């Protein structure tokens, strides 16, 4: 039976649409290679993804006794978190909402068979 190693990050202040662009680069890759990709990705959403990936790798080592070299990204997804609604007032008494979106990131690692 395969063991799934999980790590979550909630309420990340980046829109899930932008986080998914980076997450799609990583899906199915070995964990070490994904770590290197994230280190050199200039997108701001790559930083929280790197933290979650490092956390998942640490969970695998500490809790399950797995080696970092044998791990790959089985699942990675960014769900929508709460949206903060800010006001901006426009011309002619209009109201222009600013939607500050947030996301919940989940990474699931598995060991290569």
Question: At residue 6, does pLDDT exceed 90?
Answer: yes
pLDDT digits (tens, 9 = 90+) for 88-103: 998 998 989 999 999 9
CA 81 to chain centre: 12
Percent of the chain surpassing pLDDT 90: 91
| DSSP designation for 43 | S
Give, as one character, the DSSP assignment of residue 14: S
Q: Record the tokens describing residue 61, joined without a space.
A: 């080592």
**Does CATH number 1.10.10.410 belong to domain 5-111?**
no
| Whole-number Å distance between alpha carbons of 96 and 67 | 51
Q: What digits encode the pLDDT tens for the residues 44-79? A: 999 999 999 999 999 999 999 999 999 999 999 999
- Please state whether beta strands 71-80 and 84-86 pair in parallel, antiparallel, or not at all (unpaired): unpaired
């Amino acid at each position: 039976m395969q063991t799934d190693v999980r790590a979550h990050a909630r309420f990340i202040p980046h829109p899930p649409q932008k986080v998914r662009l980076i997450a799609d680069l990583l899906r199915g890759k070995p964990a070490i290679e994904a770590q290197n990709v994230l280190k050199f990705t200039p997108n701001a959403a790559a930083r929280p993804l790197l933290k979650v990936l490092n956390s998942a790798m640490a969970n695998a080592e500490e809790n399950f006794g797995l080696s970092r070299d044998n791990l790959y990204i089985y699942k990675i997804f960014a769900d929508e978190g709460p949206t903060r609604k800010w006001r901006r007032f426009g011309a002619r008494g209009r109201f222009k909402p600013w939607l500050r979106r947030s996301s919940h990131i989940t990474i699931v690692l598995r060991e290569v068979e």
